[in-house]
Amino acid sequence: MDARFADAFYWIALSNPADQWHDALKKFDEDNPDVLLVTTEEVLTEFLNFYAEAGKHRRRIVGVMCEQVLLHPNITVVSQSHESFSQGFELYRQREDKGYSLTDCISMAICRERNIGEILTNDHHFEQEGFIILF
């Protein structure tokens, strides 16, 4: 099955109809019903943190969405581990001249490990590491 990595950008925009990327991401999902999405617990943490102070209603919406992500058969959520942290931290240390977050470094390491080249994001840091960003 064809896999794409879903960055926090994807989950944030998909969960918010007012987001400028929302419609494009919904269209991507409609046009690619068989794509396997891969994300990480770290990315989902970023997603939930983004809405931490958005109020009870929005927190409830993203909480339900995150629960659905965890249960969806076409979405793989890679668990946090000491190994994934170490791999991401190593890339973080190697790229002192970049503005990569640790979560991005962990995501990049997971993508390399799983041979995923296309990322559902608009974060150009992934391009700097040779990945194709889809938005």
4-27 average pLDDT score:
97
Q: For 60-91, how does the pLDDT look when each residue is reduced to its tens digit (9 = 90+)?
A: 999 999 999 999 999 999 999 999 999 999 99
Long-range CB contacts for residues 19-22, cutoff 8 Å, separation at least 24: 21/122, 21/135
Q: pTM for the complete prediction?
A: 0.94
Q: For 112-130, how does the pLDDT look when each residue is reduced to its tens digit (9 = 90+)?
A: 999 999 999 999 999 999 9
6-18 average pLDDT score:
97
Confidence label for 103 from pLDDT (cuts 50, 70 and 90): very high
Domain of 22, CATH number, reads: 3.40.50.1010
- Residue 1, pLDDT > 70, answer no
What is the pLDDT, as a whole number, of residue 108? 98
Q: Rounded distance, CA 39 to CA 19, Å?
A: 20
Q: Rounded distance, CA 119 to CA 29, Å?
A: 14
Which residue range is the domain that position 108 belongs to?
A: 3-30+37-133
Q: For 21-47, how does the pLDDT look when each residue is reduced to its tens digit (9 = 90+)?
A: 999 999 999 999 999 999 999 999 999
Indicate the burial class of 56 (C-beta count within 10 angstroms; 0-12, 13-18, 19 or more). exposed
Sequence-distant (6+) residues with CB within 8 A of 58 are 51
What is the pLDDT, as a whole number, of residue 2? 85
As for how many domains the chain has, the answer is 1
